[in-house]
Amino acid sequence: MTLFERYSEIIPDFSSFQESLTKPFPVHIRINSLKTGPDEVIGFLEKRGIHLERSHVDDKTLYSMRGLCSPGNLIEYFLGHIHPQALTSCLPAIALSPENGSFVLDMCAAPGGKTSHLAQLMNNTGLIVANELYNSRHVPMGHTLARLGVMNSVITGYQAQEFPLRQSFDYVLADVPCTGEGRFRQIKQGFVYRETGKRERSYELQKKIILRGFDLLKDDGSMIYSTCTYNPEENESVVNYLLESRNAVLLPLEIGLHYEPGITRWGDERYEKQLENCARFYPHRIDSVGFFMAAIGRRR
């Protein structure tokens, strides 16, 4: 059976997409400017025969790593100078682009990579509420934030869809639980993507989370909704539900990187025209995890 054949009509150059799924993920790292700079890290690694290559995102802290598969074993990792993170996983923080001194909510924060990236972009100013429902994830996330020198974050344990409405935020990141199709690579013979049977539950939860995230925004605030899946029912359909339910508008995504636009039809479903402002990232276009993003604000 062809992998993800149900998406053959919406994924451009589908044969190249299929081929990309047979290749292993590249190793990407983010250099943590809260503790060091790119020149220092690059210099130390080069002396040990580890070469970094700038990503094609216009950001001086994002690199692919050649000659090493396990950056988590490096002293630079333990010092908090680098953090292994999929390239597309870095895009939500870049798209949100929080200003110094902002009040930010990361609704589904574990394992902490995006939270620490937000802190880095904010230069450890303001306050980030890193919310994660499962207590078992709080300690490892706290360790990640501490290792990376994050000092402007607090961890909370609410259900994202029921986060208290007592406070409004300048920025909200809703990187929601999803079916994770974009993380699949068929790198060994016999690897097959299997459905978990949780699709319908995912849709309903995602719709609740996006509504609550929007309701937590200040009037001039902005929000990023993201998943690591290809399924329109978890992506455009959820965002379209928000547009029908609230006075929301989709904002341009400014990330300095080419992406495929969101779709406006899927099967019998028809979505609003502005869904084209969403972004789809495919592994044959950008060699990383498959990803979806939408930037959201309040309609003026």
Q: Is the pLDDT of residue 199 over 80?
A: no
**Same domain, residue pair 281 and 178:** yes
Domain limits at 69? 26-85
Phi, psi torsion values for 146, nearest 5 degrees: -70, -45
**Same domain, residue pair 214 and 198:** yes
**Can you read off the two tokens belonging to residue 90?**
């870095």
**Same domain, residue pair 30 and 19:** no
pLDDT given for residue 197 in this prediction: 54
**Same domain, residue pair 81 and 189:** no
Q: Is the pLDDT of residue 230 over 70?
A: yes
User: Which range has highest mean pLDDT (1-10, 63-72, 142-151)?
Assistant: 142-151
Q: Is the pLDDT of residue 193 over 70?
A: no
**Same domain, residue pair 81 and 92:** no
119-139: pLDDT as tens digits: 999 999 999 999 999 999 999
**Same domain, residue pair 238 and 289:** yes
pLDDT given for residue 49 in this prediction: 87
How many angstroms separate the CA atoms of 238 and 227, rounded?
11
When pLDDT is cut at 50, 70 and 90, the band that residue 215 belongs to is: very high
Mean pLDDT of the chain: 93
pLDDT average, residue stretch 278-285: 97
**Same domain, residue pair 19 and 30:** no
pLDDT average, residue stretch 66-75: 84
How many angstroms separate the CA atoms of 292 and 300, rounded?
25
**Can you read off the two tokens belonging to residue 98?**
């929080």
pLDDT given for residue 200 in this prediction: 63
pLDDT given for residue 257 in this prediction: 87
**Same domain, residue pair 111 and 197:** yes
- Which of 85, 107, 131 is where one domain is finished? 85
How many angstroms separate the CA atoms of 74 and 87, rounded?
19
Alpha helices in 148-248 (DSSP H): 199-215, 236-245
pLDDT given for residue 288 in this prediction: 95
261-278: pLDDT as tens digits: 999 999 999 999 999 999
Residues above pLDDT 70, as percent of the chain = 94
- Which of 49, 64, 85 is where one domain is finished? 85
| Sequence-ordered list of residues with C-beta below 8 angstroms from that of 201, at least 6 positions apart, any chain | none
**Same domain, residue pair 41 and 96:** no
**Can you read off the two tokens belonging to residue 73?**
């074993």
Q: What is the CATH number of the domain that holds 96?
A: 3.40.50.150
Q: What is the CATH number of the domain that holds 54?
A: 3.30.70.1170
Taking a C-beta distance cutoff of 8 angstroms, is the pair 253, 95 a contact? yes
pLDDT average, residue stretch 156-160: 98
Q: For residue 225, what are the β-bridge partners? A: 174, 294
- Annotated active-site residue 228? The verdict is yes
Instruction: Please give the tally of structural domains in the chain.
Output: 2
Q: Is the pLDDT of residue 225 over 60?
A: yes
**Same domain, residue pair 127 and 80:** no
**Same domain, residue pair 91 and 81:** no
Tell which residue, 162, 156, 166, has the closest CA to residue 132. Answer: 156
74-99: pLDDT as tens digits: 999 999 999 999 999 999 999 999 99
How many angstroms separate the CA atoms of 77 and 177, rounded?
27
Q: Pick the catalytic residue from 90, 108, 228, 278.
A: 228
How many angstroms separate the CA atoms of 215 and 62, rounded?
32
HEC string for 26-51: CCEEEECCCCCCHHHHHHHHHHCCCE
- Which of 61, 85, 109 is where one domain is finished? 85
pLDDT given for residue 196 in this prediction: 56
**Same domain, residue pair 53 and 108:** no
